[in-house]
Structure 1
């Protein structure tokens, strides 16, 4: 069965690269560049197996979406990716992601194999 992955990433170049990695690995990727678009995909699709969320989406964070996912789709694994921002260091970002229920955290830039390994671990 093909895995259904929600990818929420606001950087088009990064999003495109991740989609290529995951598609070549056999996943079906549903792309969103904003929290609103992600929520729309989740309303339309009940078969998402994994959510990969960029922690920083413009000035917003993915924490609210993570809370929604934990409440609405119990057991859905969430993988957080982040390159950080100027206001919050990566250690704090990772701690917030962990507290919010992420099963894994990848710091950008990451290697293809690290992403695929994190996805496989999250889905097993």
Structure 2
């Protein structure tokens, strides 16, 4: 469908989708039309929600790793506090042989702030 100005309002695929869903009899009520619109909206929302969920989970690991690196390399005061608390808890749990070579400078840096 094209407006007088030449702007396209509906794609051919969209018009075909609407036509294929237009199975209402001539004696259909407003409630029938509303239910049909609700069904169409529900199917569109379900498809979009699935696509968004898939894209979210596809990007999530990379974003988390990027944020962890950012917290490690250029922490805000809040980031530094969270990491120091977490590392101290891990050290208290007996993981010093794994953590100290990498994170000892950060822990020492935090001792001066308290």
TM-score, normalization by structure 1:
0.22
- TM-score norm. by structure 2 comes to 0.23
Rg (Cα) greater in structure = 2
Structure with bigger RCO (C-alpha 8 Å, 6+ apart): 1
